[in-house]
Structure 1
Amino acid sequence: MGNHFFLTGKPRVGKTTVLKKIISKIGVENFSGFYTEEIVENSNRTGFKIVSLNGEESVIADVNSKSDIRVGRYGVNVSEFERIAIQSIQNNAKKIIVIDEIGPMQIASQTFLSIINQFMQDSQTVLGTIYYDSHPKIDEIKTNSKMKIYELTRGNYNDVLSKVINELRQTSLFQPK
């Protein structure tokens, strides 16, 4: 049985929302890591920010960014992403690691990609989201035998939420020693 639980689905289907609900239901004290949120201005998505579970946040992508690293129309601030993401997921062996998301913006960081590849070999329990479309580096991560991927749709939202909560509660973190 895998110990890496990842949600995937089309953009704006609710992956981060489900992730946050799972954290809330199980208890934030059992998690470490980060999630991303859209930045919306006048009903238009203009960027993304990263938020660590300890409350630190920063803009990591913006349409007006001058960054040379581009994903679609967004300039990506890799150093800000690394500053928060890497600190929030390292050295937390007794917690479930939250990674939202493994996507093109995030893997622009070679350091992050290397850490993800290490996690995929470890027994550390991971809860995250992963890019829906095909991408060579991300597709390789998706083939890991420890990874359970749940495709989220509007129709199965509550079922996936319940299933992942139940499966996380069956992990060794919640079993008597």
Structure 2
Amino acid sequence: MGTNVLLTGTPGVGKTTLIRKSLDRLDVRCGGFYTDEIREGRRRVGFGIVSLAGDRGILAHVDIKSRSRVGRYGVNVDDIERIGVRALEGALRDSDLIVIDEIARMELYAPSFKRMVICCLDSPKPVLGTIQERKDPFLADIRRRDDVTVVRVTEANRDALVPRILDALGTITSL
């Protein structure tokens, strides 16, 4: 089974930046997705979901009317499936490293996403991703897996973590 490295920490601490810096140091085929903020001026109004192949959708937005909500954001389950799940399916098929940024409350509204996360973690391919700190049975089960290394990111340690992440990924760095 592959080695899976999941970063956790408070919002805005630099988890996605660490993933990007780690990917820059690897010469392997990567697939998957990341999330980013949607802003109007200085105000955050939502979150985007972007595949590493460049496909983009809306993960959640203040203007989305949905039964699936996190705070003031309506969650767009269709784009989680269209962008996120498809990106993970492609990564399982075609990549050396699977990127899942992130596994969190918004994404968990899509049952197909939860199933695909487990498929990725169960695969022989390593996963590099982020996982929300919140208490949730699904997230807790992932954190407890023997094949998952959880790395807590803080402002104090983040600048030194890329080598640790690459080391935790192990054999992928020698491909």
Same fold (TM over 0.5): yes
In structure 2, relative to structure 1, the CA distance for the partners of 1:18 and 1:30 (3 Å cut) is: same
Q: Secondary structure of 1:13's partner?
A: coil
Task: Return 132-141 or 94-103, whichever deviates more.
Answer: 132-141
- Aligned 8 A contact 2:3 2:168 in 1: no
Instruction: State how 1:83-98 maps to structure 2 within 5 Å.
Output: 83-90=82-89, 91-92=92-93, 94-98=95-99
Partner of 1:8: 8
Partner of 1:135: 136
Task: State the Cα deviation string for residues 74-94 of structure 1 (Å, max 9, x = none).
Answer: 101111111111111113364
Partner of 1:39: 38
Q: Which letter maps to 1:88?
A: A
Instruction: State how 1:120-159 maps to structure 2 within 5 Å.
Output: 120-159=121-160
Q: Give the fraction of aligned pairs with identical amino acids, expressed as a percent.
A: 36
| Separation (CA, whole Å) in 2 of partners of 1:68 and 1:7 | 29
Q: Secondary structure of 1:51's partner?
A: strand
Q: Which letter maps to 2:106?
A: M
Q: Post-superposition, which runs of at least 4 consecutive aligned residues in structure 1 deviate over 6 A?
A: none
Partner of 2:70: 71
In structure 2, relative to structure 1, the CA distance for the partners of 1:174 and 1:16 (3 Å cut) is: closer
In structure 2, relative to structure 1, the CA distance for the partners of 1:2 and 1:88 (3 Å cut) is: closer
Q: Which letter maps to 2:151?
A: Y
Q: Secondary structure of 2:12's partner?
A: coil
Instruction: State how 1:96-115 maps to structure 2 within 5 Å.
Output: 96-115=97-116
Does 1:53 pair with 2:80?
no
- How far does residue 142 in structure 1 lie from its aligned partner after superposition? 1.1
**RMSD between superposed Cα atoms in Å:** 1.8
Q: Which letter maps to 1:42?
A: G
- Aligned 8 A contact 2:38 2:46 in 1: yes
| Separation (CA, whole Å) in 1 of partners of 2:174 and 2:42 | 45
Ranges in structure 1 where 5+ consecutive residues have no aligned partner: none
- How far does residue 98 in structure 1 lie from its aligned partner after superposition? 0.2
- Aligned 8 A contact 2:2 2:123 in 1: no
Task: Return 119-128 or 149-158, whichever deviates more.
Answer: 119-128
Partner of 2:20: 20
| Separation (CA, whole Å) in 2 of partners of 1:86 and 1:2 | 20
| Separation (CA, whole Å) in 1 of partners of 2:69 and 2:173 | 41
In structure 2, relative to structure 1, the CA distance for the partners of 1:129 and 1:76 (3 Å cut) is: same
- Aligned 8 A contact 1:36 1:50 in 2: yes
Ranges in structure 2 where 5+ consecutive residues have no aligned partner: none
**TM-score using structure 2 length:** 0.91
How many residues are paired up?
Answer: 173
